[in-house]
């Protein structure tokens, strides 16, 4: 079999690339070794949001209780939630396959391994097959990073994939890793009734975010009853009949019924023999790409596998660009200015564009303006007023927006427009912001007093 376009990987990037290629009239083959949807649909973005959505009433009731407006409790059946999750994911995969077929994409199941510059070997249950191609897009995604001191056993020590298969929440859950995944999973299990202890080797949570955001997250989760241990590593563990004991670098011990290890993800590139196609791997194990996301003359690498940004929407955006570039529809370098990043839950975090520290490191003059969510009517209506919206300026234009608090993910798209188009204050004032909305907090932050950083 030969094709104009071969796509390796059926996650967000590969799926988008295959559909885009078919729409442009390219004969397109998509190779997937497991399930369509990749990490995002099957074990990442979507199931965690289903769990957060199903347990959100726990947070709403807790806020009403703090205001002495309501009493009672919300109890979520994890076993039933898991069944709903499994049904939803299966239906979505079926719909994805149907859409690929309707678009004329040929779907091949099997493990891909590059054989030459224009050829790939596919190993499936029937044996080994060689497919040739004119152009290829590698969208193989990423995989969990293991921690040597805490090897996952799917019993006491879990990775994020295994945690999503639980039918009963552990009474005491230790979480190792204070990044996006650890914070979202911690909120899910806290709402399900688990006692949370979070251990992070760095000195703050969500270390890629603004330090003020990290501090607000720590305050929020401590108020919710989490035990948070920062600046210390897990050095070892001991399993007992009663559970698990973690030994920390600080000399402390953590007792838990289960431990969730979420210390990051790494590109899934090491077994693909990309060198045969003319590509190279970085020391981190990612596929090296140029300004057009090309890894070799006939190969592009997009999404998690190039480690540029490990986010599903970033992967899709890269994939569509790559197809249009190889088809001659665009010639400019790939640009993702204003790429949004979100931590979901309560509180949420959104970041678009540059942080103040990043611009200062580039030698730019930087100002920030802000607005507290306590002044926002919608945050007040929900009784969740902690947090803020912060705008970063340089040269009189908006270069970044970051926010933490109640449902601030709703601000992501407008914030991206502001950053991409380099808005001034007059641009924002020209819009009619509906009242009352959370969006008004973004407007107030834009209009706020600017301070030099």
- Please state the domain extents for the chain: 2-143+266-326, 157-263, 340-452
Q: What pLDDT score does 242 carry? A: 83
Beta pairing, strands 119-124 & 106-109: unpaired
Q: Do 157-263 and 340-452 fold alike per CATH?
A: no
Pairwise CA distance, residues 348 & 120, whole Å: 42
**Best CA proximity match to 356, nearest among 450, 448, 421:** 450
Domain 157-263 CATH superfamily: FAD/NAD(P)-binding domain (3.50.50.60)
Query: What pLDDT does 60 receive?
Result: 96
What is the distance of C-alpha 124 from the center of its chain?
30
Nearest to 320 by CA among 27, 47, 22: 22
Identify whether 426 is preceded by a cis peptide bond (ω within 30 of 0). no
- For helices 312-326 and 12-23, angle between their N-to-C axes, nearest 10 degrees: 30
Q: Distance between CA 144 and CA 260 in Å, rounded?
A: 12
Helix/strand/coil for 151: coil
What token pair was written down for 224?
């919710």
Look at residue 204 in the predicted model and tell me its pLDDT: 98
Name the pTM for this structure: 0.95
What is the spatial distance between Cα 412 and Cα 416, in angstroms, rounded to a whole number? 6
CB 152 within 8 A of CB 162: yes
User: What pLDDT is recorded for position 351?
Assistant: 98
User: What's the CA gap between 382 and 61, in Å, rounded?
Assistant: 10
Which one, of 426, 429, 373, 365, lies nearest residue 399 by Cα?
A: 365
Give the pLDDT confidence of 373-397 residue by residue, as tens digits.
999 999 999 999 999 999 999 999 9
User: Residue 241: what pLDDT?
Assistant: 83
Element (H, E) at 319: helix 312-326
Choice among 313, 325, 332, 435 that is catalytic? 435
Nearest to 154 by CA among 54, 66, 261, 267: 261
Q: Which residue, 134, 132, 135, is CA-closest to 119?
A: 132
User: Rounded to an integer, what distance in angstroms lies between the CA atom of residue 106 and that of residue 161?
Assistant: 29
CA pair distance 88, 51, nearest whole angstrom: 12
In the predicted model, residues of the chain with pLDDT beneath 50 are none
Is residue 435 annotated as part of the catalytic site, yes or no? yes
> Closest by alpha carbon to 384, among 49, 69, 52, 48?
69
DSSP states of 212-263:
HHHHHHHHHHHHTT-EEEES--EEEEEEETTEEEEEETTS-EEEESEEEE--
pLDDT at 49: 98
Q: How far apart are CA 361 and CA 355, in angstroms?
A: 10
Please tell me the number of Cα atoms within 13 Å of 181 on its side-chain side.
25
| Helix residue spans in 67-179 (DSSP H) | 78-103, 160-163
Residue 95 tokens read as: 């719909």
Q: Which of 23, 18, 14 is closest to 138 using CA atoms?
A: 14
Structure tokens that stand for 231 in this block = 């600046």
2-143+266-326 CATH: 3.50.50.60
Place of tokens 């807790």: 62
Distance, in Å, from the CA atom of 94 to the CA atom of 72, rounded to the nearest integer, reads 40
- Distance (Å, whole) CA 450 – CA 397: 12
∠ CA 32-33-35, nearest 5°, is: 75
**Distance (Å, rounded) from C-alpha 182 to C-alpha 159?**
10
Structure-token pair, residue 194: 């688990």
Tell me how far apart the alpha carbons of residues 364 and 360 are, in angstroms, rounded to a whole number: 5
**CATH class of the region 340-452:** alpha beta
């Amino acid at each position: 079999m030969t094709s104009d376009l071969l796509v390796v990987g059926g996650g967000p990037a590969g799926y988008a690339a295959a559909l885009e290629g078919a729409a442009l009239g390219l004969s397109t083959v998509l190779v997937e070794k497991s399930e369509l949807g990749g990490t995002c649909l099957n074990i990442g973005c979507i199931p965690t949001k289903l769990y957060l959505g199903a347990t959100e009433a726990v947070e709403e009731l807790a806020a009403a209780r703090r205001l002495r407006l309501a009493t009672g409790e919300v109890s979520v059946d994890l076993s039933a939630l898991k069944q709903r999750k499994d049904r939803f994911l299966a239906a979505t995969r079926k719909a994805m396959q149907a859409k690929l077929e309707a678009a004329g994409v040929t779907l091949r199941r099997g493990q891909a391994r590059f054989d030459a510059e224009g050829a790939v070997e596919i190993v499936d249950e029937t044996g080994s097959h060689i497919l040739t191609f004119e152009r290829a897009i590698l969208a193989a995604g990423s995989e969990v990073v293991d921690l040597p001191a805490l090897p996952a056993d799917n019993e006491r020590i879990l990775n994020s994939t295994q945690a999503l298969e639980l039918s009963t929440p552990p009474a005491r859950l230790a979480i190792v890793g204070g990044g996006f995944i650890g914070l979202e999973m911690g909120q899910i299990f806290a709402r399900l009734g688990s006692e949370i202890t979070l251990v992070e080797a760095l000195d703050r949570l969500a270390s890629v975010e603004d330090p003020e955001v990290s501090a607000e997250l720590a305050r929020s989760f401590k108020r919710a009853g989490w035990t948070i241990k920062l600046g210390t590593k897990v050095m070892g563990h001991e399993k007992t009949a009663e559970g698990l004991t973690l030994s920390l670098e600080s000399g402390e011990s953590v007792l838990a019924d289960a431990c969730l290890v979420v210390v990051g993800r790494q590109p899934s590139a090491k077994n693909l023999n990309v060198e045969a196609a003319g590509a190279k791997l970085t020391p981190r194990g990612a596929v090296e790409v140029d300004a057009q996301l090309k890894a070799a003359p006939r190969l592009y690498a997009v999404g998690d596998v190039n480690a540029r940004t490990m986010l599903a929407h970033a992967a899709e955006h890269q994939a569509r660009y790559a197809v249009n570039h190889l088809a001659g529809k665009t010639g400019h370098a790939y640009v993702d200015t204003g790429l949004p990043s979100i931590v979901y839950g309560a509180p949420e975090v959104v970041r678009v564009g540059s942080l103040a520290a990043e611009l200062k490191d580039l030698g730019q003059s930087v100002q920030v303006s802000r607005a507290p969510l306590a002044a926002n009517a919608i945050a007040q209506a929900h009784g969740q007023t902690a947090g803020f919206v912060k705008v970063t300026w340089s040269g009189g234009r908006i270069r970044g927006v970051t926010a933490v608090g109640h449902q601030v993910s709703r601000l992501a798209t407008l914030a991206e427009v502001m950053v991409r188009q380099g808005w001034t204050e007059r641009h924002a004032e020209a819009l009619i912001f509906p009242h009352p909305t959370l969006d008004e907090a973004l407007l107030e932050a834009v209009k706020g007093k600017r301070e030099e950083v």
